[in-house]
């Protein structure tokens, strides 16, 4: 009961943050209503559809790549079930921010892959994605160094400096003490935490670690790497193709898209599906590149909403069809 209450509170807080950021983003363009409506009505939705389809196939490729992590552990999963689990997971991230929990839960139910192992492979995927995000950072620094420094100065370092200018020495000391205290607490409690890795709990942790280390057991590592790069290339072109939906963004190129992808991805981390955070960050990046507020505010909504529609439709469809698709399998097992 406590865990459910805690999850609900976390969801409400994160959702509230997302809505707050939406309100902040709206506040920036409140005087541009007519221009924004005109931008939406005149957008070329053919390119928005292409962006949505690229996003759809990126999830399909992710499901196929997932099988590379599960097979070395002795689990051959149905491609349909794996794909459905991925869509449900992404839908869970948009709706409840529980995608990393829902995906292994689904694959456990329909493919009998122990939850802890499935969860470990999902975390492995996140680690691989983080590595590739650093690759995107490197490419952005290579091709957009001055722009990235300018963005960081305008939206991060300067505001932080202003905050610290107004912060008293007492507050700085308190924050420093709290940080040091957290480190000391971890060092003191790590032995007690290690002692809990026994019995049933230890079995769960072992399964999780097996899933986490599955990447080392992949038979065709180059295929796994290629699929990982393909997934992120698709993410890139989700944004790039949407450039052509608006005349104002159609002049932007691959270099600008790198910056939008890098900073937009960071925005997705903060709120469910990036609600508010993605829109605010991408709009400000586009304003930095010289776009008017109206077009800058319209573009992230075109990209984000098209992906939301795909994930919501496929997530709900997967939830409805999985019991039907797996009915024969369940009958045989019974």
What is the C-alpha to C-alpha distance for residues 307 and 20, in angstroms, rounded to an integer?
21
Task: Give pTM, 2 decimals.
Answer: 0.78
pLDDT higher than 90, residue 81: yes
CB 276 within 8 A of CB 283: no
pLDDT, mean over the chain: 78
CB 224 within 8 A of CB 72: no
Alpha helices in 29-157 (DSSP H): 33-42, 45-70, 79-95, 99-111, 115-143, 145-152
What is the C-alpha to C-alpha distance for residues 199 and 18, in angstroms, rounded to an integer?
40
Higher pLDDT, 205 or 31: 205
C-alpha distances (whole Å) from 242 to each of 134, 151, 246 are 23, 22, 8
CB 290 within 8 A of CB 31: no
Per-residue model confidence (pLDDT) at position 303: 93
pLDDT higher than 70, residue 280: yes
What is the C-alpha to C-alpha distance for residues 254 and 236, in angstroms, rounded to an integer?
9
pLDDT higher than 50, residue 115: yes
**Confidence class of residue 132 from pLDDT cuts 50, 70 and 90?**
very high
Highest mean pLDDT among 72-86, 177-191, 265-279: 72-86
Q: Residue 133's closest CA among 18, 226, 235?
A: 235
Location of structure tokens 């994930």: 311
C-alpha distances (whole Å) from 15 to each of 58, 89, 151 are 26, 17, 26
Compute how many other C-beta atoms are within 10 angstroms of the C-beta atom of residue 146: 7
Per-residue model confidence (pLDDT) at position 157: 46
Per-residue model confidence (pLDDT) at position 223: 92
Per-residue model confidence (pLDDT) at position 153: 67
Q: Residue 21's closest CA among 269, 312, 289?
A: 269
Per-residue model confidence (pLDDT) at position 332: 46
What is the C-alpha to C-alpha distance for residues 243 and 239, in angstroms, rounded to an integer?
7
**Confidence class of residue 33 from pLDDT cuts 50, 70 and 90?**
low
What does the domain layout of the chain look like in residue ranges?
Answer: 34-279+293-333
Per-residue model confidence (pLDDT) at position 200: 44
Is 253 buried (19+), middle (13-18) or exposed (0-12) by CB count in 10 A?
exposed
**Confidence class of residue 330 from pLDDT cuts 50, 70 and 90?**
low
For 2-7, what is the mean pLDDT? 50
pLDDT digits (tens, 9 = 90+) for 134-152: 999 899 888 888 888 877 6
pLDDT digits (tens, 9 = 90+) for 223-256: 999 999 999 999 999 999 999 999 999 999 999 9
DSSP letter at 73?
A: G
CB 245 within 8 A of CB 43: yes
Per-residue model confidence (pLDDT) at position 334: 45
pLDDT digits (tens, 9 = 90+) for 155-208: 554 544 554 455 555 555 565 666 666 656 555 555 555 455 444 445 545 555
**Confidence class of residue 209 from pLDDT cuts 50, 70 and 90?**
low
What is the C-alpha to C-alpha distance for residues 135 and 130, in angstroms, rounded to an integer?
9
Per-residue model confidence (pLDDT) at position 197: 46
pLDDT digits (tens, 9 = 90+) for 216-225: 778 888 999 9
């Amino acid at each position: 009961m406590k865990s459910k209450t805690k999850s609900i509170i976390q969801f409400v807080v994160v959702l509230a943050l997302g809505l707050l950021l939406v309100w902040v983003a709206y506040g920036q363009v409140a005087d541009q209503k007519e221009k924004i409506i005109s931008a939406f009505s005149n957008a070329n939705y053919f390119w928005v559809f292409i962006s949505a389809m690229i996003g759809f196939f990126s999830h399909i490729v992710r499901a196929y790549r997932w099988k590379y992590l599960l097979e070395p552990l002795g689990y051959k999963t149905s491609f349909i079930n794996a794909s459905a689990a991925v869509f449900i997971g992404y839908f869970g991230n948009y709706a409840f921010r529980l995608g990393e929990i829902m995906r292994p839960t689904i694959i456990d139910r329909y493919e009998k892959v122990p939850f802890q192992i499935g969860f470990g492979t999902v975390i492995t995927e996140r680690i691989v994605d983080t590595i590739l995000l650093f690759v995107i950072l490197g490419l952005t620094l290579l091709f957009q160094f001055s722009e990235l420094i300018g963005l960081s100065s305008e939206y991060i370092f300067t505001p932080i400096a202003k905050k610290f200018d107004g912060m008293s020495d007492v507050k700085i000391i308190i924050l420093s003490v709290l940080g040091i205290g957290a480190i000391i607490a971890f060092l003191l409690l790590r032995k007690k935490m290690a002692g809990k890795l026994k019995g049933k709990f230890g079995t769960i942790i072992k399964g999780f670690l097996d899933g986490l280390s599955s990447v080392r057991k992949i038979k065709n590592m180059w295929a796994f790497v290629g699929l990982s790069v393909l997934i992120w290339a698709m993410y890139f072109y989700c944004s790039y193709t949407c450039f052509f939906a608006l005349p104002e963004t159609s002049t932007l190129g691959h270099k600008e898209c790198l910056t939008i992808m890098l900073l937009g991805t960071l925005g997705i981390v903060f709120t469910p599906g990036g609600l508010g955070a993605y829109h605010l960050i991408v709009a400000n990046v586009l304003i930095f590149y010289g776009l008017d507020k109206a077009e800058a505010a319209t573009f992230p909504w075109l990209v984000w909403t098209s992906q939301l529609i795909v994930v919501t439709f496929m997530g709900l469809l997967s939830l409805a069809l999985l019991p039907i698709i797996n009915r024969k399998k369940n009958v045989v097992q019974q």
